[in-house]
Structure 1
Amino acid sequence: MLENFWKDKYSADVPFEIDPDLFPNIQAVMHQSCSRYADKPAFTCLGKTITWGELYSLSGAFAAYLQEHTDLQPGDRIAVQMPNILQYPIVVFGAMRAGMVIVNTNPLYTTREMEHQFNDSGAKALVCLANMAHLAEEVLPKTGVKHVIVTELGDTLPLFKRLLVNYVVKNVKKMVPPYNLPNAVKFTRAMALGQGRPVKEASPDSGDIAVLQYTGGTTGVAKGAMLTHRNLIANMLQARGLMGDSLEEAGETIVAPLPLYHIYAFTMHCMAMMFVGNHNLLIANPRDLPGMIKDMSKWQFSGFVGLNTLFVALCNNAEFRQLDFSKLKLTFSGGMALQKATAERWKEVTGCDICEGFGMTETSPLASINPIGNIKLGTIGIPVPSTLFKVIDDDGKELPLGERGELCVKGPQVMKGYWKRQEATDEILDSEGWLKTGDIGIIDEDGFIRIVDRKKDMILVSGFNVYPNELEDALATLPGVMMCAAIGIPDEKSGEAVKMFVVVKPGEKLTKEQVMAHMRENVTGYKVPRAIEFRDTLPATNVGKILRRELRDEELKKLGKK
């Protein structure tokens, strides 16, 4: 056991351990931070900035609405389906103050994915952007969701700008398909009803669930990782600790282009930055690079949280290269592997090093990171405070330094388990609290950790987990498909892309266009395959299990990468 191995690997300003019981729950952190930093900017989006004090007041209005105008009770699940807009932190903070469990939901989900998540989580309420309310209309009758709150993009803006933005989005850009949700309440109405009303502040135990964060885990259908108040507080303190003296409290502006519904951005911006009272510049649509760069140009930003794909796109943009980077001192990369060339290019353009880390939804998510001032490219750094790693062989035996095996992680940020899936929990989490990551890695003599392979078949597209089982299940519903398999193939832009192999039933005919159209209807955009290949057979074991690794090895050989 490497209990004390990393003790001397931390710089003097980074603690080796944190106290995950420093606060009883997230509500206590909110109250302290929003009071201490009441007049400091918290979030900016679409030109509007709210302070931490204003956020507390606004979230209180939303909490009061939930308590006085719905029958929702503490512990009930509330699905939140929004991009990076000011309504997101208002709703999340408000729902938490009312004692609700947050179910983060991707706004790009298809109806199939929404139905699974809402039913699996037992969500009783949904807050969504009007742009996807038409999907909610289709899905909700098949779920237990009883309360729906719909917000429009400009709802937190001053009156004239709000009316203008909402009109343009709906009537000029045609971004809001018609929908009919007769019992839905408008966000502005909910806020008006709760304004000035008292909040019965929830006070959950530290071991209670704060967030149900959906992931495929290492395999299979999407499961809800039960992240407790203690888990998220621990990761909040770990994130704060690893930044050491480089982070000034209530003095930094951090660019937030990654979606807050993703655990990486959620913990960094809604948890860690709340704890220290820093300012988050929300990017509502990071695919709109000109718009994003225009927003960034208005601020002397000092931090940036991103991933490899985004770093590449920005560095290739002439307008981005003209920005003022004189205050930029912190850049964090996660979600997918950081390429050395990307890190070097970012440093050349911005003058700032990238600290690459590693995490999983199941670890809230930060588990390791390259220390600021001691970055070793090609590694995922060293464990964050109060965290241990080990490497095991196929029999579960711990291996010595320098040997490759499955990486396991242990710490106060490791999830409670999967929601209502004890068997899946037992497969990944042992009785001592060690979580199997599904990644093959090596712990070097100097304490830095390298990932060298992936044990499972999970595909990583621009930082999002894509699971072959889900794609294959979706395609199997297309008439004419006898057998199919999904793998990840290298992609310059997204790290990996999906390729699907299809065996057509005898006497049937299918085209690539039909397969692609079917997948677009059934899975979120980033899961849609980039390539389709028809085959007569697929490699399989003697009991018929398809050997995805063989298909992957064939593709790598074609590309000269194996």
Structure 2
Amino acid sequence: MTPEYGSIPDSIPELVRWAAEHYGPREAVVDGRTRISYAELGERVERAAAACLAAGIRAGDRVGIWAPNTLDWIVSALGAVTAGAVLVPLNTRFKGAEAADVLARSRARLLFVTGTFLGTSYVASLRRAGVELPDLERVVVFGDTAPDDAGYTTWKSFLSEGNEVPAAQVWSRAGSIPSSAPSDIIYTSGTTGRPKGAVITHEQTLRCYAAWSELAGLRAGDRYLIVNPFFHTFGYKAGVIACLQRGAVMIPQPVFNVDTVLANIAAERVSVLPGPPTLHQSLLDHPSRGSHDLSTLRLVVTGAAVVPLQLVERLRSELGVGTVLTAYGLSEASGIVTMCRRGDPAEVIARTSGRPIPGTELRLSSSGEVLVRGFNVMRGYFEDEEATAAAIDEDGWLHTGDVGVLDPAGNLRITDRIKDMFIVGGFNAYPAEIEQLLGLHPDIADVAVIGIPDPRLGEVGKAFAVRRPGARVTADDLIAWSRREMANYKVPREVEFVSELPRNASGKVVKGTLRAR
């Protein structure tokens, strides 16, 4: 049984309980050698919620989590939310001071943190940050050891503290949470400045990802490799929440590594693999792809300003993926605004991000900025009225900062970020549009464009490009090719070849890093 589209539990705790009852013996999570059912997941979440209650967590308290994609992340996050807390996921690429800044501004009382990840001790990093965290009372470390300092404890020890809290008390707290209550504060990626916390409610989360699951065609028994980081809206909500709604199997992967992705798809018979275009491009181009059985893949959902048509066609023809969809969203709109539909032509899927999800509106301002209104728009930035007023106007329209165009069928194509646009001799140049054109060059695997000063034209484009394996294209070659393929003002005047583009953990190119070069 699957929740009827449009008829869903009122809160995330109710969803957890519903999934445990309806999908009980079905496999829920595969994390390395650990495999648990939906019934077992429900029990573990209940224990984690009991421990949060024992720790004094009240409804509305903020609880941070700073860890990679694992079963512990899923259980602790859902446990905190079941106890009525507001989840604050932290970017695993943050340094200690950046994590401390978000913890301080959100006034988190409890933090779940990984021990060591990618050779870094997150606990040591946080302690070295030198930032006062007067509200942070407890730090729970996923690992066998924790500092002797007051307030630090291991995950196992923390869970044991909830042993005396009866289940009835847990579900009494969970049942008191209204659907309109905040479920999480998602801090924006910070590619254009200091991260701000978008406040999203239980109702928004559940309704958005019921729509996402329906449009994508996610179904019970699907085996879903979750490579998108959980700290990002898409990883947590199109991953964990959507799987809970549909009874799919969650297979969290802590780090994006194409060899591991290939091995996981083959070993776990993965059928669903959302992720940024770079993930799927890496998969297709991997030299040992042919030695892995990828025949179970049936659903890919991706999204970015640039999704090459060739990528969509290769996923369908070379891997036999039956459904390839693109979507567009941002944290301030619960992570989803538009989505292609199954059956859309490959050209629509590659060149647009589809149409608005049901219950939402989209329009373009006179400058081309994408405006969104509907149930998915955040309640505001956490304790930042000025930034909220700047983002959401009096009529309820969220000003996304993205520039786009609509085709006659209402499909949205994002052409750029307003702040990334540059002006060449009086012409507006949109990097994403230029990147899409450059991506058609047969020797270019990845590309990003920024504006740089020019004494004659004011600004011109500079491309940072990644060659395909074995390619020998030069800067002059690419510039000459560009002159044949695009208007003169769009042609990059400089090309720098790099081994890879700087990306944040959400897959977005960090243009500030390129500009700093």
TM-score over 0.5 (shorter chain): yes
How do 1:118-133 residues align onto structure 2 when only pairs under 5 Å count? 118-131=103-116, 132-133=122-123
Equivalent pair of 2:62/2:85 in contact (CA under 8 Å): yes
Match of 2:166 in 1: 198
Show CA shifts across 1:136-195 (max 9, x none).
22247611211000012xx7xxxxxxxxxx9xxxxxxxxxxx966453110011223335
How do 1:22-61 residues align onto structure 2 when only pairs under 5 Å count? 22-61=8-47
Match of 2:187 in 1: 214
Structure 1 residue aligned with 2:86, among 78, 92, 101? 101
Whole-angstrom distance in 2 between the partners of 1:39 and 1:193:
28
Whole-angstrom distance in 1 between the partners of 2:68 and 2:59:
25
Equivalent pair of 2:305/2:415 in contact (CA under 8 Å): no
Gaps of 5+ in 2: 117-121, 422-430, 436-449, 451-460, 468-501
How do 1:453-532 residues align onto structure 2 when only pairs under 5 Å count? 453-457=416-420, 490-492=464-466, 529=513, 532=516
Whole-angstrom distance in 1 between the partners of 2:410 and 2:164:
53
What is the DSSP-based 3-state SS (H/G/I as helix, E as strand, rest coil) of the residue aligned with 2:318? Answer: helix
Equivalent pair of 2:281/2:311 in contact (CA under 8 Å): yes
Shift of 1:331: 0.4
Shift of 1:529: 2.8
Structure 2 residue aligned with 1:332, among 293, 301, 306? 301
Equivalent pair of 1:18/1:386 in contact (CA under 8 Å): no
Equivalent pair of 2:96/2:127 in contact (CA under 8 Å): no
Match of 2:444 in 1: none
Q: What is the TM-score when the length of structure 1 is the normalising length?
A: 0.70
Gaps of 5+ in 1: 1-16, 156-165, 167-177, 395-404, 462-467, 469-486, 494-518, 534-562
Match of 2:382 in 1: 419
Task: Calculate the aligned-residue CA RMSD, in Å.
Answer: 3.1
Show CA shifts across 1:455-489 (max 9, x none).
1249999xxxxxx9xxxxxxxxxxxxxxxxxx995
Whole-angstrom distance in 1 between the partners of 2:291 and 2:515:
36
Could you tell me which amino acid in structure 2 is paired with residue 211 of structure 1?
D
Match of 1:134 in 2: 124
Equivalent pair of 1:151/1:187 in contact (CA under 8 Å): yes
Match of 2:471 in 1: none
Bigger relative contact order, structure 1 or 2, given CA contacts below 8 A and separation 6+?
A: 1
Change (3 A) 1:417 1:134: same
Whole-angstrom distance in 1 between the partners of 2:94 and 2:406:
37
What is the DSSP-based 3-state SS (H/G/I as helix, E as strand, rest coil) of the residue aligned with 2:414? Answer: strand
Whole-angstrom distance in 2 between the partners of 1:85 and 1:103:
16
User: Residue 66 in 1 paired to residue 66 in 2?
Assistant: no
Match of 2:137 in 1: 146
Whole-angstrom distance in 2 between the partners of 1:239 and 1:448:
16
Could you tell me which amino acid in structure 2 is paired with residue 456 of structure 1?
K
Identity %: 24
Could you tell me which amino acid in structure 2 is paired with residue 24 of structure 1?
D
Shift of 1:328: 2.0
User: Residue 274 in 1 paired to residue 259 in 2?
Assistant: no
Show CA shifts across 1:308-331 (max 9, x none).
111121112133343333332210
What is the DSSP-based 3-state SS (H/G/I as helix, E as strand, rest coil) of the residue aligned with 2:269? Answer: coil
What is the DSSP-based 3-state SS (H/G/I as helix, E as strand, rest coil) of the residue aligned with 1:35? Answer: helix
Equivalent pair of 2:28/2:250 in contact (CA under 8 Å): yes
Whole-angstrom distance in 2 between the partners of 1:368 and 1:322:
36
Match of 2:427 in 1: none
Equivalent pair of 2:97/2:126 in contact (CA under 8 Å): no
Equivalent pair of 2:316/2:324 in contact (CA under 8 Å): yes
Whole-angstrom distance in 2 between the partners of 1:109 and 1:180:
24
User: Residue 342 in 1 paired to residue 342 in 2?
Assistant: no
Change (3 A) 1:283 1:219: closer
Shift of 1:300: 1.8
Whole-angstrom distance in 2 between the partners of 1:109 and 1:489:
27
Change (3 A) 1:108 1:217: closer
Whole-angstrom distance in 1 between the partners of 2:130 and 2:276:
34
What is the DSSP-based 3-state SS (H/G/I as helix, E as strand, rest coil) of the residue aligned with 2:256? Answer: coil
Shift of 1:125: 1.0
How do 1:304-315 residues align onto structure 2 when only pairs under 5 Å count? 304-315=273-284
Shift of 1:218: 8.8
Aligned length: 428
Equivalent pair of 1:211/1:227 in contact (CA under 8 Å): yes
How do 1:304-453 residues align onto structure 2 when only pairs under 5 Å count? 304-334=273-303, 337-352=306-321, 353-375=323-345, 376=348, 377-394=350-367, 405-453=368-416
Shift of 1:53: 1.1
Equivalent pair of 1:42/1:51 in contact (CA under 8 Å): yes
